Amino acid sequence: MTVKTLVRPPAAPDTSARPQRSRWVWPWVVAGAVSVAGVLLVLVGYLGLGVLSGAVDWLGLVAEPVWNPTDSVFGGLAMIYGSAVVCVIALALAVPVGWAGAIALSEYLPPRLARPLRMSVELLAAVPSIVYGLIGIMAVRPAVAWLGDVPGGDSLLAAGLVLAVMITPTIVAVSVDALSAVPDRYREAAYSLGLTRREVVRSAVLPQARQGMRAAVLLGLARALGEAIAVFLVVGRADGRLPTSFGELIDSLVHPGQTLTTKLAGPEPVLAGTSGPYFASICGLGLILLGLVAAATVWGTRRSSGAKGAQRADRQRRPGRMRAELDKAVALLRLGALLLPGALLVAMLAVLATRGSAAFSPSFWFTSAAGSAGGGVSDQIVGTLLLVTTTGLISLPLGFGAGILLGVHASGRAARVLQTVTVVVSGTPTILLGLAGFVIVCSAMGWGRSWLAGAIVLVPVVVPVVALTTAGRVGGMPAEMTESALSLGLSRAQYIRSVVVPYAWPATVTGLLLGLARAAGETAPLLFTATVFFGAPALPDGIVNAPVQALPTHIFTLSQDSGDPQAVSQAWGSALVLVIITAVLLSVAVALRNRFEGERWTT
């Protein structure tokens, strides 16, 4: 009997499920990278052309303390001194508290307590700068007036205290990430030698996290150098105050001063016109400020060379009777430092709830403003949401493309240069973005004050955040996912579309919401490009000469009239509304991060 074997003919390969050619990937990725580099080039080009529009005495600009446009004397030394003083005060207060709080959050608390405390710190970091300015007017200025026996309380010390509160959450958040990245094997090895918790942190953890914690300080310094509105409200803006002795230096701390950012945030950039020595000197101050921020940012984010994180446990273990007691004392200090940001958040919310009680009325949210300080803020809410939404729609593809390029090609020299440029753009003072937008978009292009111009100048605020969070997510992608995708014969573009994009998307959304939370509170760029105090409709009917009303600039204008109780009450109510909107964005971002953190996405 013959047995016949049935043989199935080979089937044609099914190509329907195979990813198609993705010609759009590289243009999209390159567009994101070019947008980041383009922002910096446009900003430097604008300032450079401004400097070339008139004669600039660079020696006088950096060495002369007197600023007197009437006599064509443009000395910026007093402003450089003011910027240095407020930053030193801020760092002297914020660095010890920030580092101690980060160590407590990472090394001492269980996750169930660390997570809500970390969220409270991040909420502090997302509080709009105009709100910090209001806190400075209400609490810091009276304290300085009492301390220094000077009327008003506007001073360099008040500005430094406000900046210290502002940058502490940034130092804590970035330092926690650096500490969390230290592998547990270092801690386990140190504990196995019989070290206490304090000795483990000092000998095994801090050497490994030193680079990231230093970056946290310098990124905080970059924000302090670039902050304009909060300092503008409490520094006093007095030109030419430069001490000549140690006694005068101490006395100058409790008297009004001037910084580079407050000079650029005042009316003089508009009064200076678009050419001539006055305008050129203003642009020269902008270049000096941008150079300071860039230097601090690049130094703080440069890569470490060499094994600086070697363990030094053998040198740290020293016998003594007070080891346990010292360990307990240090733990209490660090936990106390961690509680300080939480106490600040509770106090800030209590002040906002007390002073801004108007925001608890539904009519305040849904009625238009009336007169100089009456009615509600419905038009301002609509304008703010319009600016934030438009900024998000423009920033998402650009930031996502730049982040994919950074993450996929992180080992290349071009990617390292792009990463440096991205970090520099993220630390650029927003007042410079506003000035560039005013000259280029509003004046040269003839748009006037326009909601779209405001959204465009906010894009550089959001794009670096999206790019860096996306790149961080891609950098942590398991190697086996890449190997599996490439072993299937996927092209580089198909690999990005089918593997990298789905994996990085959750982090991108988180970065977008965090960036928009910061953009929602920006004031300086909108003052020059997009907003007016009253008279603009809730929704514009065009682009050219189509301003809107927005919450940050509304609060800033009302806060200038501190002698009118109704204006002050309206400003606090508007600030509470803005904080609520920002908190909603941040809460969504944190929820997404907690939901997707550690997951592997693929298609």
DSSP, residue by residue, 311-339? --HHHH----TTHHHHHHHHHHHHHHHHH
What's residue 301's pLDDT? 59
For residues 567 and 577, give the distance between their C-alpha atoms in angstroms, rounded to a whole number: 15
pLDDT of 355-371, one tens digit each?
888 888 888 888 888 77
Report the percentage of the chain scoring pLDDT > 90.
Answer: 1
| 107 against 460, higher pLDDT | 460
Which of 331, 372, 351, 391 lies closest to 518, judged by CA? Answer: 391
The rounded distance, in Å, linking the Cα atoms of 516 and 511 is 8
Calpha distance 22→25 (Å, rounded): 6
Per-residue pLDDT at 12 exceeds 70? no
pLDDT-based confidence at 300, cuts 50/70/90? low
Is the pTM for the entire model greater than 0.85? no
What is the pLDDT averaged over residues 462-471?
82
Q: Letter for the amino acid at 571? A: A
Q: What DSSP designation does 496 have? A: I
The residues spanned by each domain of the chain are 86-267+331-356, 361-602
In this predicted structure, the answer to whether residue 589 has a pLDDT above a threshold of 50 is yes
pLDDT confidence of 428, banded at 50, 70, 90?
confident
| pLDDT tens track for 382-401 | 999 899 989 988 888 888 88
If you write DSSP's letter for every residue of 415-478 in order, what string do you get? Answer: HHHHHHHHHHHHTS-HHHHHHHHIIIIIIIS---SBHHHHHHHHHHHHHHHHHHHHHHHHHTS-
Residue 134 CA to residue 124 CA, distance in Å, equals 15
Question: What letter represents residue 391's amino acid?
Answer: T
SS3 267: coil
Model confidence band, residue 415 (pLDDT cutoffs 50, 70, 90) = low
Per-residue pLDDT of 476-522, as tens digits, reads: 666 777 777 777 777 777 777 777 777 777 777 777 877 887 788 78
pLDDT band for 98, please (50, 70, 90 cuts): confident
Task: Provide mean pLDDT across the span 176-183.
Answer: 74
Segment 460-479 mean pLDDT? 77
Look at 170-184, 319-333, 379-393, 502-516 and tell me which has the smallest mean pLDDT. Answer: 319-333
Q: Phi first, then psi: give them for residue 74, nearest 5 degrees.
A: -125, 90
When pLDDT is cut at 50, 70 and 90, the band that residue 315 belongs to is very low
The residue that leads in pLDDT, 543 or 10, is: 543
Please give the CATH superfamily to which domain 361-602 belongs: MetI-like (1.10.3720.10)
361-602 has the same fold as 86-267+331-356: yes
Cβ neighbours around 39 below 10 Å, total = 24
Helix or strand or coil: residue 531?
A: strand
Angle CA 350–351–352, to nearest 5: 90
More confident of the two residues 103 and 174: 103
> What pLDDT shows up at residue 599?
47
pLDDT at 308: 43
Q: Give CA–CA dist 316/314, Å, rounded.
A: 6
pLDDT at 21 over 50: yes
| Mean pLDDT, the chain, whole residue set | 77
pLDDT in tens, 109-161: 787 787 777 777 777 776 777 788 888 888 888 888 887 777 778 888 888 98
CATH of 86-267+331-356, one of 1.10.287.370, 3.20.10.10, 1.10.3720.10, 3.90.1640.30: 1.10.3720.10
CB 156 within 8 A of CB 85: yes
- pLDDT band for 596, please (50, 70, 90 cuts): low
Report which of 593, 439, 465, 588 is spatially closest to residue 522, judged by C-alpha positions. 465
Closest CA to 254 of 158, 161, 135, 142: 158
